[in-house]
Each structure stands twice: as structure tokens, then as C-alpha cells.
Amino acid sequence: MLNHQTFRILRLISCVCALAAGVLSGLAGVSPARADEPNVYRCTMSDGSIEFRQFPCHGRDESQLLEIDDRPSGWIPPDPSAVFAEEKPKTRSASGSDEASSDARKEDAADRRQAEKCWKKEQQLEQANRKLRAGYRPAEGQRLRHKRAEYEDYLKKFCD
């Protein structure tokens, strides 16, 4: 646990380090950046690798302050209320194109529902066949054969 005196000493040391870093960056020829701009330094390490930092490099590493072009792009975000607003119901116009597209949507929806029903009947038919192959009691076998016949009739009538 840090007591008050230790905290004050650590704060003093951090201030001295910050002051020393400023003096060293001035000696290294790095121009000081304004406080309102973000600072980015390109540091070339002794092994040749390059790092980008918010603070000047230390030791034998070469430091270069990069100038950041922080101009506004002109892009304005959309108004959330306009993006997520509910669509108003369209009024029917006198033209037949709205009715034709409405009829087409209804037919597509009906086709999808029928396709789902056919798929479900196929699944039920497969399940009845699995149960018949797996074994059954005599009364259950008669019921399963009856259901299988109903599923097959439905598929022949509505799904082929």
C-alpha cells in the first residue's frame, strides 16, 4: 500500500522524467509538438526495426516526429432518427403497378409457405418410414402405414 509521502515522491519522479524527456527531445533535434495535436514519433531501433510511439524514443534509437494531417473529412454521420424511423404505410395509387407487385409478393409468400409444408410432409414421411423399419407393435404398424399413405398422397397432390 502506498502512503501519502511515497505517492508524492513517485509523482515528483514522474515530473522529473517528463522534464528530462522534453530536454532530451530538444537536444535530439525533435521539434516540440503543440499540446492540442496528437504526437506520433517514428523510432528506428538499433536493430533496424521501426516503431511508432506517442513519446520520443530513448537511448541510441533514432526519433522523428511525424506531422499528422488532422483535417476534417467533410463526412457527416446520418441522423439516427432518420435511419431507424419506421416506414410509413404506402397509399395505394391509381396505377396498376402497385397492385401487380402486391400480387406478386402474395404469390411468392404463398409459394414459400407451400414449399415449407411440402418439406415438412417429406420429413414426416421419412420419420414414419424410419419407425416402420425400426420395428413396431402390430397396432402401431397399422397406424404408421396409414400415416405414410396420407403423407404420400399429400406429396403427390400438392408437391410434385
Helices (DSSP H) in 86-158: which residue ranges?
A: 96-134, 138-154
Q: What is the pLDDT of residues 57-104, one digit of tens each?
A: 887 777 888 887 777 777 787 787 877 765 555 555 555 567 778 888
Q: Are strands 62-66 and 40-44 parallel, antiparallel or unpaired?
A: antiparallel
Rg (CA), the chain: 38
Q: Are residues 43 and 52 in contact, defined by beta-carbon separation less than 8 angstroms?
A: yes
Residue 33's pLDDT is 47
Residue 30's pLDDT is 47
Q: What is the pLDDT of residues 130-158, one digit of tens each?
A: 988 888 888 888 889 999 999 999 999 98
Q: Are residues 61 and 46 in contact, defined by beta-carbon separation less than 8 angstroms?
A: yes
The full DSSP string for 40-106 is EEEEE-TTS-EEEESS---TT-EEEEEPP--------PPPHHHHSPPPPPPPPPSSHHHHHHHHHHH
The candidate with the shortest Cα–Cα distance to 64, out of 47, 81, 86, 42, is 42
Mean pLDDT of 14-36: 56
The Cβ of residue 84 has, within 10 Å, a number of other Cβ atoms equal to 8
CA atoms within 13 Å, Cβ hemisphere of 30? 25
> Residue ranges of the domains in the chain?
4-66, 111-160
Rounded-to-integer distance, Cα 146 and Cα 154, Å: 13
Residue 127's pLDDT is 92
